[in-house]
Amino acid sequence: MDVSYKRGVTRVGLLPIPDFALMSYAATAEPLRAANLLAGRQLYDIVPVAIGPEPVPSSGAATVQPQAQVGDDLKLDMLFVIAGGDLTEVANRALLHWLARMARTGTVMGGVSGGPVLLARAGLMAGRRMTLHWEYAPALAELSPDLRIERTLYVIDRDRMTCAGGTAPLDMMHALIARQHGDGFARRVSDWFMHTEVRPPIGPQRAGLVERIGSHSAAVLDAVAAMESHIAEPLDLAQLALIAGVSRRQLGRLFQAQLGQPVMQYYRALRLERAQSLLRNSALPLTEIALATGFANSAHFSRCYAAQYGQPPSAYR
């Protein structure tokens, strides 16, 4: 990363996209502010940037007042795009062209939560390892299968920094500050926020299966893990039972007792949950979403979706 060994002040642009998560923004900005405070001098010049001149609303009540706008001829060492919500409306040509232009000037480009989606749409993640919030990952992988997406907290690949959002930017900014100002100083910054357990970049984004589904049964855990890795090409009950190492009847009893529903009903709900994520985070046609989640056609998908959620997928979108 080109700015790793620069001395003096690092100029960092923060570009929140409307409906951004305040947690992601604060976890990116606050370590830089604290670094200035603890150093007793300015190490980082933070420049809020926006798509337009108006304050940028978060998903909560807070807003960010910009100092610069997309399209300005900015001199930045780094630029972080922090995004949440529906990104289809903001991925316009002017924004994507400006992001690409900033990258060509040598700016280290970063994305937080849904921000990496916009970096990818601008053509800035080709051939680079990357991560993003797990909610956006299925849609981006479906749209751009050649991208090297990892399900980790953050990834630093040369002059690209991507992060899953939430509290994960605290860990990524710790790594950045450590690179530029040493491990000891980075630890002081993290301690300032009671962030005493700094996580490695390869940390998981979500709790393990035991915590998520509330079961300690090895057979149930093996079956659910197989379901989650076979969404587009669903396994049948016999295959799931074989993977779980029990009979089909025994697997059914375990699912009913521990998860409260039959095996294949649980599996279909998982696939519909993935479909809902694709509806929310992509502009894929219903037919493609149906195929990506293991349904034979859009009509079958629509019937199952309506039975699960009380409305057809077209109404949800």
pLDDT at 92: 85
Reported as a single tens digit per residue, the pLDDT across 53-72 is 999 999 988 999 999 999 99
d(CA 233, CA 190): 44
pLDDT at 260: 93
d(CA 160, CA 283): 26
pLDDT at 317 over 80: no
Residue 56 pairs in a beta bridge with 64
Confidence tier at 7 by pLDDT (50, 70, 90): low
- Over residues 71-96, mean pLDDT: 89
Enter the pTM of the model: 0.80
Residue 134 vs residues 28, 64, 84, 175, 266: alpha-carbon distances, Å: 18, 25, 12, 21, 20
d(CA 95, CA 113): 17
pLDDT at 6 over 60: no
pLDDT at 299 over 70: yes
**Which has the higher per-residue pLDDT, 240 or 213?**
240
In the chain, the domains with their CATH numbers are: 2-192 (3.40.50.880), 209-316 (1.10.10.60)
Reported as a single tens digit per residue, the pLDDT across 111-123 is 999 999 999 999 9
